[in-house]
Amino acid sequence: MKLRTKYLLFVIILHLIALVLSYLIFDDNKLLFICSEVFIIISIIISWNLYQQLIQPLKSLSEGVDAIRDRDFNVKFLSTGKKEVDQLIDVYNQMIDQLRTERTLQEQQHFFLEKLIYTSPTGIIILDYDGNIHQINPKAAQILSIDEKSLINQSVNELPGNFVRHMENLRSGDTKTIKLNGANTYKLQRSYFIDRGFSRDFIMIEELTAEILAAEKNVYGKVIRMMAHEVNNTIGPVNSILQTALNMDVLWLGHHSDPLKDALQVALDRNQNLNIFMRNFADLVRLPEANKKRIDLNRVVTSVSTLMALKASENNIKLELDIPGEPFYIQADEQQIEQALINIVKNAIEAIGSNGLVQLSINNKLKQLVITDNGKGISYQQSNQLFSPFYTTKKDGQGIGLTLVREILINHGYEFSLQTGVDGLTVFNIQL
């Protein structure tokens, strides 16, 4: 039973008893009976005023409690003129103002956080209490090459591509740097935050490719320039001495076949080869900015195929073209793109060895150039090092071919990947 109901029942019963008693006691004395009735009426009026002053404010405050329960922080009360009740109302109004301010701040912070997550250059995947994906920002969707809505409420272990391999064993607080497709480098970090008293994890995916490539290029650039400087300073004078000695006929009079002269010629040729070797490295460092012009990629691919056809046929390797009938125009540096394709096709031929197929295909709709070969393939360990300077799997390789390809494609702003699929085919994919 509510307090106001109890109060009203008490007042009604009390005054009914008083009326009955006044009738029984003062029935013979009309004056005293009238006075008692007046007293009872005054008591009823006072009781009603007390109800208005005490119970009615409590009713209003009860309505305020209901408003708080409904998260409506706009309900406030006016002063009644009664000191005790007004103190309670003042405290309630101050509490409502504070709650409204806190909610506004919370909403602003939540909006800012949502905006920050949405526009962050770092991929962010937020998990729910069960470890399933609750939210994924556009950058993470771009890195994973998926539609963000398709992964909501899915497990992290259902992420596409090679990310699953690295994420499934990533614990809260762990950080891991990975390299995918031999080209792109990412930093994975898993952490947690407290939501409503419970822990929730989130995963950050930060792309480090540009920073690592810049630092890497700076390092190997310094090394190559130092090597080229020292080698050239040595080879130049030595070649000059050797050439002078070989051209002095007086030294070789009467000698039709001299082992010393032959040895000097071999040394001179070796120095020339060393000079060419160092020049290849120097060309990697001095690669100019791409002079982009409108070119027909079909014509470039056909030209590369014709150029490499003889080398392929020597090893019984077939070069196959799958290009559209109409021209496919792109903005690119023709010489650089041609050089990159020559290196890619050359690597594919060497990976096959003999008796195989290299296919060059252009997808006009997807704007992709794909070079596929059925060679020995690339292991997972090799794929992490393929585009690193000086790394090579060939016995006599220099380790600059794919590095040069990487630099050319990056200069053009093309995304690329190199990997061997489950079908055993190795695919070099260039997104134009």
Only one residue has tokens 């709650």, namely: 99
The candidate with the shortest Cα–Cα distance to 295, out of 266, 338, 260, is 338
Which of 266, 250, 334, 271 is CA-nearest to residue 299? 334
Of 261, 264, 285, 270, nearest in space to 231 by CA: 270
**pLDDT per residue over 264-276, tens digit each?**
777 777 777 677 6
Residue 123, phi-psi category: left (phi > 0), alpha (psi -120 to 50), beta (remainder): beta
> How far is residue 421's CA from residue 378's CA, in Å, rounded to a whole number?
9
Note the pLDDT of residue 250.
Answer: 62
Are 238 and 271 contacting, i.e. CB atoms less than 8 angstroms apart?
Answer: yes
pLDDT per residue rounded down to tens, the chain (432 residues):
666 677 777 778 877 777 777 777 766 677 777 777 777 788 788 877 777 766 666 676 777 777 777 777 777 777 767 777 777 778 888 888 888 888 888 888 888 888 888 888 888 888 888 878 888 888 888 777 777 777 777 777 777 666 666 776 778 778 877 776 556 777 888 888 888 778 888 888 887 766 666 666 666 666 666 666 666 667 777 777 777 777 776 666 665 556 666 677 777 777 776 776 666 666 666 667 778 889 999 988 888 888 888 888 888 888 888 888 888 899 988 888 888 898 888 888 888 888 889 899 988 888 889 999 888 877 766 666 666 666 566 655 555 677 778 888 888 888 888 888 777 888 888 888
Beta bridge partners of 322: 361
Amino acid code (one letter) for 185: T
- The per-residue pLDDT for 69 is 74
Three-class DSSP labels, the chain: CCHHHHHHHHHHHHHHHHHHHHHHHCCCCHHHHHHHHHHHHHHHHHHHHHHHHHHHHHHHHHHHHHHHHCCCCCCCCCCCCCHHHHHHHHHHHHHHHHHHHHHHHHHHHHHHHHHHHHHCCCEEEEECCCCEEEEECHHHHHHHCCCHHHHCCCEHHHCCCCHHHHHCCCCCCCEEEEEECCCEEEEEEEEEEEECCEEEEEEEEEECHHHHHHHHHHHHHHHHHHHHHHHHHHHHHHHHHHHHHHHCHHHHCCCCCCHHHHHHHHHHHHHHHHHHHHHHHHHHHCCCCCCCEEEEHHHHHHHHHHHHHHHHHHCCEEEEEECCCCCCEEEECHHHHHHHHHHHHHHHHHHHCCCEEEEEEEECCCCEEEEEECCCCCCHHHHCCCCCCCCCCCCCCCCCHHHHHHHHHHHHCCEEEEEECCCCCEEEEEEC
Give me the pLDDT at residue 354, please.
84
The whole-angstrom separation of Cα 55 and Cα 33 is: 32
- The angle at the Cα of 225, spanning 224 to 228, to the nearest 5 degrees, equals 80
Closest CA to 118 of 139, 132, 147, 134: 139
Q: 360, 345 in Cβ contact below 8 A? A: yes
Question: Pairing state of beta strands 317-322 and 356-363?
Answer: parallel
* Rounded CA separation 389/403 (Å): 6
**Distant-in-sequence, close-in-space partners of 416: CB < 8 Å, separation ≥ 6:** 181, 183, 406, 409, 428, 429, 430, 431
pLDDT digits (tens, 9 = 90+) for 307-333: 888 888 888 888 888 888 888 899 988
| CA–CA gap between residue 397 and residue 391 (Å, rounded) | 9
